[in-house]
Structure 1
Amino acid sequence: MELDFERCYRAVDSRDQRFDGCFYTAVRTTGIYCRPSCPAVTPKRQNVTFYPSAAAAQRGGFRACRRCRPDAAPGSPEWDVRADTVGRAMRLIGDGIVDREGVAGLATRLGYTERHLNRMLTTELGAGPLALARAQRAQTARILVETTDLGLAEIAFAAGFGSVRQFNDTMLEVYAQAPGKLRETRPAVRGEAGVINLRLAYRAPLHVAALLEFLGARTLPGVDELDGETYRRGMVLPHGSARVELRPRERWVFATLWLSDVRDLAPAVARCRRLLDLDADPDAVDGTLGADPGLAAVVRKEPGVRVPRAVDGFEMAVRAVVGQQVSVSGARTTLGRLIRGVRGDLGGGSSGSSGPSGPAPAPASNHQLTGFPSAESIAELPDSAFGMPAARRATIRALATAVADHRIDLEPTADRTETTARLLELPGIGPWTAGYVAMRAIGDPDVFLATDLAARRGAAALDLPDSAKALAAHAERWRPWRSYALVRLWRSA
């Protein structure tokens, strides 16, 4: 990845937070690397080197600044936009694939040899997959050191290190402090044992109300809930279950995690960031959309509107299928019945239910949030548990079976074109459903659903073309951010 020195230096000189996570500043006279917004005195030009990733800076022999904590910067928005191999690789590494399956597993998923993949990543990011995963391990370990009372040996293996010695050496190299020393300087740890509290950075502005309104209108009993400005949900992660509580605030989203296995910290954080679209670049998005006179007013009024995404691709696909041609409240009712069927709350297949009919009260219900049922469990349900027309039931069965058999990948690491094509092969799934899944589950920022009734109503409210064909043609000027434009049309409907 080529970095323009002058542009980067201007961003550092102005301490521009918008560039945090897009590149890193290494100062040769101090041996430290920082995020662009670091409050320290701007280094002299002749002493600065810019790197496209924290891993590249670490590989160059620099340690993380203790003041601005560059390793905790938002992720580069480039990885959400790019659908190529490098973009998919970065999303997979962020989800912990290298820790679980090694570089060989990463290469196999992407369809390349380890050697060629290493060459591609090193060319673009200045570091190969092992170095990128190592940087993530260091960040995960620091969070565990500073926010839990776990033993240091436990933290080493939970963060993905192969040995305690490797853990100690890496922490000393990256932070210039041994793990024990980091623990001595941490703030006092409060709260119940096993709970991890951390802050998730994002690029301002973030329109919190738009996010919470969207997610709150679609909460499901036993899966997620909204309590004021606190969003809670359950998740199923590679090593076990988890619960998360997210509280968006200025500059940060405060997160509290309950993990059944601390090895799931990195994927849990990645999925929370994905859900709230925290790695987006709102200035780039709003700059493009705001240039259209039809959207200019709503962009000025509500800057930083994000695309609510997903922690579970299969869940989002089922929501999309059930939501076809029904209201949001109707979809919630149907999905609630489906979930109760999986959990055995539909006694004898009757229409009655001993389970909750709506979101459980907070905060006690936090312990009851277990996440969405698996594809395998839904594929095995009896017909009576679905509570929907036979054709839609058949679609969900086909979808669940395809996901369970690994014929369809619905995670953000998937090949977007291939996944969309395979979805369209299933009975009952058309362009609207496939596009909705691509936008919210796979994270494609440039989806536009021109036939969507709410989008057309929103367009009419903004004096934009409201026929499907004319609206689709008009939306071409919103590339590559048509998903964000779609959310704004929905809000205007």
Structure 2
Amino acid sequence: MSSEPETLQPDACYLALKARDARFDGSFFTGVTSTGIYCRPVCRVRTPKRENCRFFGHAAQAESAGFRPCLRCRPELAPHAPRWSIQDASDMLAQQAAQLLDEPEAWHDAPPSVELLARRLGVSDRHLRRIFEASLGVSPLQYLQTRRLLTAKQLLADTDLPITQLALVSGFASVRRFNAAFLQHYGLSPGQLRREGGRAGEAVVRLGYRPPYDVQAMLAFFGKRCVAGIEFVGERELGRTLALEAGGQVHAGWLVATFDEERHQVELRTSDTLRQVLPLVIRRVRALLDLDADPLAIGSVLHASFPDSDGLRVPGTTSGYELAVRAVLGQQITVAAARTLAQRLLQRFGTPLDTPWPSLTHLFPPAQVLAAAEGDALGQLGIVRQRQAAIVAIARAVAEGRLQLHPGADVAATLQVLQALPGIGPWTAQYIAMRALRWPDAFPAGDVALHKALGVQGSRQAARDAETASQAWKPWRSYAVIRAWARLSPPTQPVATA
């Protein structure tokens, strides 16, 4: 068995394990030498003796050391542990590589490989392997293999997808390779982990997160912007429609995410039509609700400036394209006015969809549809000419593949492409980067509400003053923006439109 990575503090990890502290869920895993099993810190089994514990920063490290995942706490449910740094360039490269491996949309239906990954990052594959192994303790292929196996394990436990189909959607090239890898790593055949998953007409999976999490603030944010027909927000849940393209095929359906605060989990239900792209749906929902955020790391930088906001997360999106269009609609007008324009756009260009939810009746207009929209048609909805041009430009760029709006996209390149489009300035580009690209250090310095929250609204150089103040919050300025905005309005209950 390998020893613990130097970045972990074994004694501190053991204390967190004894306390079953959910704040560290996914930040490390415990391999128990007496059983050969590795667990999450929140596992409810009897705490093992200290001398029998080995600690790992990633599930891939534990599996590489010969440990098998616990069937009780299920490591695949743990939130991911993205680590952002502004210090060591090698660590940044390794973490960027890991993020790309975690993002299915970053590969455009091509299977990821070390050669393609190195090319994306502008380094040699040999250098990438060396840096990746030095930083994360495993090779890129071992990391990717663990991610695929844990994804398959979750789908085996929570859905009734046929094993043949499940192997393919988890990223394996063939069922034979899937069966062999599963047996080699876990000592079990896939069928031995099969549970009765899902309900009639839908799939159900659980997604973990680290507390604290201000559920009501997140739901209030979405509730205030809720567009009937494509989404609804309730007391503990939100639902929406979505369409995903994978393998040249469009999969349309609905999802409902319900918070289980006691267990620090989200129960995700999806329509049967989305089962074939469940891993992609799960990634999008994790981004939508910011389930992989690390409150301890963020709070260590922001708590002094925003002491009452440790539970706030950055709201994301299930569609970067939709978010970009709605961001344009919201330029220089109120949230309520932007919601009205989005409602009109949906009614005019949206695609009808049959669902069991009265509030979910349409899909957001596809990029190909808005790309072909005539100015008069958009103008009749009350959208001014400048924003008409911006919406059409975004839709065309997305439809033609020139603009990628997902967490695996290159931030600097995407910001450059966005700001080259008509009607897209720094504020809109940064807002899209914050919510669609999941960039934790986005900062719309020109935002008027942000100026008010930071007390620089009377300055002749308010944007520059805000930018200067923000330097202390790197690399978590997106979270600082959300916390600053929260200062401007008292806590509110979400709008119930279901």
What TM-score do the two structures reach when normalised by structure 1? 0.85
1:137 to 140, 148, 160: 148
**Equivalent residue letter for 1:254:** E
Matching residue within 52, 58, 63 for 1:53: 58
Q: 2:444 aligned with 1:449, yes or no?
A: yes
- Report the Cα distance in structure 1 between the residues aligned to 2:475 and 2:215, rounded to whole angstroms: 23
Distance 1:369 1:94 in 2: 30
What aligned pairs does 1:154-173 form with structure 2 within 5 A after superposition? 154-173=165-184
Match of 2:469 among 451, 470, 474: 474
By how many angstroms is 1:75 displaced?
A: 0.4
Secondary structure of the residue that 2:408 maps to in structure 1? coil
Match in the other structure for 1:245: 256
Question: Which amino acid is 2:169 matched to?
Answer: A
- Identity across matched positions, percent: 39
Partner of 1:235, secondary structure, is: strand
Equivalent-residue separation in structure 1 for 2:50 and 2:155 (angstroms):
36
Q: Does 1:191 align with 2:199?
A: yes
Superposed CA RMSD = 3.3
**Aligned residue for 2:99?**
91
SS in 2 for 1:470: helix
Aligned equivalents of 1:328 and 1:30: distance in 2? 55
Distance in 2 between the 1:462 and 1:15 partners? 45
Letter of the 1:90 partner, please give it. Answer: A
Q: Unmatched 5+ residue regions in structure 2?
A: 489-498
**Is 1:3 the equivalent of 2:7?**
yes
The secondary structure found in structure 2 opposite 1:305 is coil
Offset at residue 437 of structure 1 (A): 1.0
Aligned counterpart in structure 2 of residue 364 of structure 1, from 358, 361, 373: 358
Instruction: State the shift of 1:86 in Å.
Output: 3.3
Letter in 1 for 2:357: P
Question: Which residue does 2:493 correspond to in 1?
Answer: none
How far residue 57 of structure 1 moved from its aligned partner, in angstroms, is 1.8
Instruction: Return the offset for 1:218.
Output: 1.3
C-alpha separation in 2, matches of 1:435 and 1:464: 22
Task: Indicate yes or no: 2:407 matched with 1:412.
Answer: yes
Q: Distance in 1 between matches of 2:457 and 2:384?
A: 36
Alpha-carbon shift at residue 472 of structure 1 (Å):
3.4
2:350–2:362 Cα contact (<8 Å) kept: no
Query: Which stretch has the larger CA shift, 243-252 or 466-475?
Result: 466-475
Return the match for 2:279 from 252, 258, 266: 266
Distance 1:84 1:402 in 2: 29
Q: Deviations over 1:371-412 (max 9, x none)?
A: x33322211112123232222211222222222333332211
Q: Contact between 1:91 and 1:413, CA under 8 Å: does it hold in 2?
A: yes
Cα 1:463–1:286 change in 2 (3 A) is farther
- In 1, are the aligned partners of 2:76 and 2:151 still within 8 Å (CA)? no
| Change in CA separation of 1:287 and 1:127 when aligned onto 2, cut-off 3 Å | closer
1:215 is aligned to: 222
The one-letter code matched in structure 1 to 2:239 is R
Q: Does 1:69 align with 2:61?
A: no
Cross-structure match for 1:389: 384
One of 19, 23, 30 as aligned partner of 2:35: 30
Shift of the 99–430 alpha-carbon distance from structure 1 to 2, 3 Å rule, reads closer
The yes-or-no answer on 1:421 pairing with 2:416 is yes
Q: Distance in 2 between matches of 1:465 and 1:28?
A: 63
Tell me the distance in 1 between the aligned counterparts of 2:457 and 2:47. 45
Does the 8 Å CA contact 1:277/1:307 hold for their aligned counterparts? yes
Q: Which blocks of at least 5 consecutive residues in structure 1 are unaligned?
A: 345-354
Q: Is the 1:65–1:175 Cα contact (8 Å) retained in structure 2?
A: no
Q: 1:342 is matched with which residue: 331, 337, 349?
A: 349
Q: Given the alignment of the two structures, is residue 148 of structure 1 paired with residue 156 of structure 2, yes or no?
A: no
How far apart, in 2, do the equivalents of 1:179 and 1:375 lie? 39
Kindly provide the amino acid, as one letter, of the partner of residue 71 in structure 2.
R
Per-residue deviation, 1:489: 2.2
Provide, for residues 117-174 of structure 1, a one-character-per-residue CA deviation record: whole Å limited to 9, x for no partner.
Answer: 4444333223334333322322232233223333333333333333333333333344
Kindly tell me: are residues 362 and 460 of structure 1, through their superposed partners in 2, closer, same or farther at Cα, counting changes over 3 Å?
A: farther
Report the CA distance shift for 1:443/1:211 in structure 2 as closer, same or farther (over 3 A).
Answer: same
**Deviations along 1:295-346, whole A, 9 cap, x unmatched?**
33x33xxx411110122111111122221101111112222222333348xx
- Residues 156 and 418 of structure 1: CA distance in aligned 2, closer, same or farther (over 3 Å): closer
Say whether the 8 Å CA contact 1:247–1:254 is kept in structure 2.
Answer: yes
Displacement of 1:23 in angstroms is 2.3
Task: Verify: 1:373 aligned to 2:365, yes or no.
Answer: yes
CA contact (8 A) 1:309 1:440 kept: yes
Q: Which deviates more, 270-279 or 89-98?
A: 89-98
What is the alpha-carbon distance in structure 2 between the residues aligned to residue 99 and residue 414 of structure 1? 11
1:101 aligns with 2:110: yes
1:286 aligns with 2:299: yes
Deviation at 1:419, TM superposition (A): 1.5
**How much does 1:436 deviate?**
0.7
1:190 deviates by 6.1
Cα offset, 1:259, TM superposition: 4.5
What residue in structure 2 maps to residue 352 of structure 1? Answer: none
Q: Residues 223-242 of structure 1: matches in 2 within 5 Å?
A: 223-239=230-246, 240-242=251-253
Q: Tell me if the contact between 1:20 and 1:73 (Cα under 8 Å) persists in the aligned partners.
A: yes
**1:425-448 C-alpha deviation (Å, 9 max, x unpaired):** 222221111111111111122223
